[in-house]
Amino acid sequence: AKNEVTFAQYDKFAEATGRSKPSSGGWGRGNRPVINVSWQDAVDYCAWLIRQTGRHYRLPTEAEWEYACRAGSEAAYCFGDDEKLLRDYAWYEKNSGKKTHPVGEKKANAWGLQDMHGNVWEWCWDWWDDYPSGELKNPRGPKEGSSRVLRGGSWYFDEIALRSADRYWSNPALSNGYLGFRALAHRSAGLLNAGFL
């Protein structure tokens, strides 16, 4: 998706399914990225979206997330290596005022995707593990584990955590004010049978 899933989008899902709406931390809802959602909450939202639209949605794999973030760049960030430019592309510790901000207020990467750096950490599909040795094309994470991958950094973190290649992980049951997600629209229903949903 062009942006992280917002409270406005997630709240429709919560209302339709009878779930409790996650806390906004007092920062507001609407067009701000949804926070206080676990990995399973994100997966359940994608499954609900499939039923509502007939299209196929899921969380991106870690490799897909980084590919989309970079948008063809091999630099530290989607726009290059100059950390001073990060203010134009991201909400992070130096400009966020210690809270999330509505999606889409910062510059997009070369593929039109916004907030790939900062605002909220984004859940990915993969279990966390060290990278395997050797070169791989579009790798998937291990089949099991105890932590899920997070990417992108958040409003609370510094420039290093916002690099395109930076990796973080968490217990998939965790939900807090740093964690959100982005849905990936996919053409293939076969992914549902491949362990994605």
Both structure tokens of 40: 């399973």
Instruction: Specify the pLDDT at position 188.
Output: 56
Both structure tokens of 130: 């060290």
pLDDT confidence bin for 187, thresholds 50/70/90: low
Quick one: angle between helices 39-53 and 7-17, nearest 10?
A: 80
Instruction: Specify the pLDDT at position 191.
Output: 44
pLDDT confidence bin for 197, thresholds 50/70/90: very low
Reported as a single tens digit per residue, the pLDDT across 137-166 is: 777 888 999 999 999 999 999 999 999 999
Instruction: Specify the pLDDT at position 180.
Output: 98
**What 3-state class would DSSP assign to 15?**
helix
Mean pLDDT of the chain: 93
Reported as a single tens digit per residue, the pLDDT across 19-58 is: 999 999 999 999 999 999 999 999 999 999 999 999 999 9
Instruction: Specify the pLDDT at position 7.
Output: 98
* Sign of the alpha-carbon torsion through 30, 32, 33, 37: negative
Reported as a single tens digit per residue, the pLDDT across 87-139 is: 999 999 999 999 999 999 999 999 999 999 999 999 999 999 988 777 777 77
Of the candidates 27, 32, 26, 25, the residue with the CA atom closest to the CA atom of residue 10: 32
Instruction: Specify the pLDDT at position 190.
Output: 47
Burial class (CB in 10 A: 0-12, 13-18, 19+), 194: exposed
Instruction: Specify the pLDDT at position 132.
Output: 76
DSSP 17-36: HTPPPPP-TTS--TTSBP-S
- CB–CB of 62/151 below 8 Å? yes
